[in-house]
Amino acid sequence: MTSDVCYRLDETALILAVRLTPKSSRDAVQGVSRLSDGRFVAVARVNALPAEGAANKALCVLLAKTFKVPKSAVTVVSGHTSRLKQVRVEGDPAVLSETIAAWPDIT
């Protein structure tokens, strides 16, 4: 499965590459996709608007539910105003990566 390249691990967290689509009809993580430049990203959609950080907050809530961690354990570390983001998820990296392994590959 290619999903192992959409994130990197450190000692206490997972850094996830995400392509976020705001103003969607629902909040969901769709799976893992390859960008035109060859990089892999998790594809997420949120209902929130991209104004005033609402979409970033909605993404953090969505990922907290998805990974079953507290909302405070999820932070956007780069790409605050971009569709492509790096999101830090605090927790056991092995357990977090198992969640990603179950996501479908979408191309």
In a domain, 6, yes or no: yes
Residue 2 has pLDDT above 70, yes or no: no
pLDDT in tens, 8-47: 998 999 999 999 999 999 999 999 999 999 999 999 999 9
In a domain, 25, yes or no: yes
Write down the pLDDT at residue 64.
97
Write down the pLDDT at residue 3.
46
Going by pLDDT thresholds of 50, 70 and 90, the confidence category of residue 5 is confident
In a domain, 106, yes or no: no
Q: What is the mean pLDDT of the chain?
A: 92
Q: What range does the domain containing 70 cover? A: 2-101
Q: What is the DSSP string of the chain?
A: -GGGGSEEE-SSEEEEEEEEE-S-SS-EEEEEEE-TTS-EEEEEE-SS-SGGGHHHHHHHHHHHHHHT--GGGEEEEE-TTSSEEEEEEES-HHHHHHHHHTSPB--
In a domain, 107, yes or no: no
